[in-house]
Chain A
Amino acid sequence: GQNIDQPTEMTATEGAIVQINCTYQTSGFNGLFWYQQHAGEAPTFLSYNVLDGLEEKGRFSSFLSRSKGYSYLLLKELQMKDSASYLCAVTDSNYQLIWGAGTKLIIKP
């Protein structure tokens, strides 16, 4: 079966750095996405990785290792507004998007 694992909840301090991990087992791979979802709102696109390595975009970076079936989202200089759920999603060989359950990130002052 297809499976995406990410921690259910994480807590971090304002100004700090946090890494949210995602591991996947899917039938084929055509890219990995990270989305941010604030409570009561729809998800918004953060990043896309299809090749191994680190993609940096401002305070957010996303890493991919296809051989390990592993990705992480790195958030630096955390702000209170970063409190949200972070969803990992993988596109399989049929270009179907397989969603993780999301990681709820709680930022404390």
Chain B
Amino acid sequence: GAVVSQHPSWVICKSGTSVKIECRSLDFQATTMFWYRQFPKQSLMLMATSNEGSKATYEQGVEKDKFLINHASLTLSTLTVTSAHPEDSSFYICSARSPGGRETQYFGPGTRLLVL
């Protein structure tokens, strides 16, 4: 299957700092990427849909100014958590939709964010 990488895999930061997470599709071009958040023992929660060359579409309840998404190329999307607080500590996972009829999403390995 398609390969999606995510970096970093672990982040520990102080409250008030900003954290950038990168998501890359390694062997295909992804016009659409997705950002999810998952709290322990809970379901995946879609945060936003990122389309190359245009603004991201955020789900209801997700603050656009806090979670900045940039999809500058067909293989890279970034999520920046601005002024992070302890309640932002979570598992952030990106996925990229492969081209073609199946619309299959392939997931990156995820990034664990711990805000102290």
Seen from chain A, the residues whose Cβ lies within 8 Å of a Cβ on chain B are 30-31, 33, 35, 40-45, 48, 50, 87, 91, 95, 97, 99-102
Could you say which of B46, B102, B107, B109 contacts A48, with CB atoms under 8 Å apart?
A: B102
The answer to whether B106 has its CB under 8 Å from any CB of chain A is yes
- Give the A-B contact count at a CB cut-off of 8 A: 41
Check B44 against A99 for contact (C-beta < 8 Å). yes
CB <8 Å contact, A33 and B104: yes
- Tell which of A44, A91, A101 touches B103, judged by Cβ atoms closer than 8 Å: A91
What is the CA–CA distance of A33 and B105 in the complex, to the nearest angstrom? 9
26 inter-chain pairs at a CB distance below 8 angstroms, sorted by A residue, are: A30-B103, A31-B102, A35-B107, A40-B91, A41-B109, A41-B110, A42-B6, A42-B107, A42-B110, A43-B93, A43-B107, A45-B104, A45-B105, A45-B106, A45-B107, A48-B102, A48-B104, A87-B44, A91-B103, A95-B103, A97-B46, A97-B105, A99-B43, A99-B44, A99-B46, A100-B43
Question: For residue B107, which residues in chain A have a CB less than 8 angstroms away from its CB?
Answer: 35, 42-45
Contacts of A43 in B (CB 8 A): 44, 93, 107
A77–B1 CA distance with the chains assembled, in angstroms: 24
Chain A residue with the shortest CB-CB distance to B57: A96
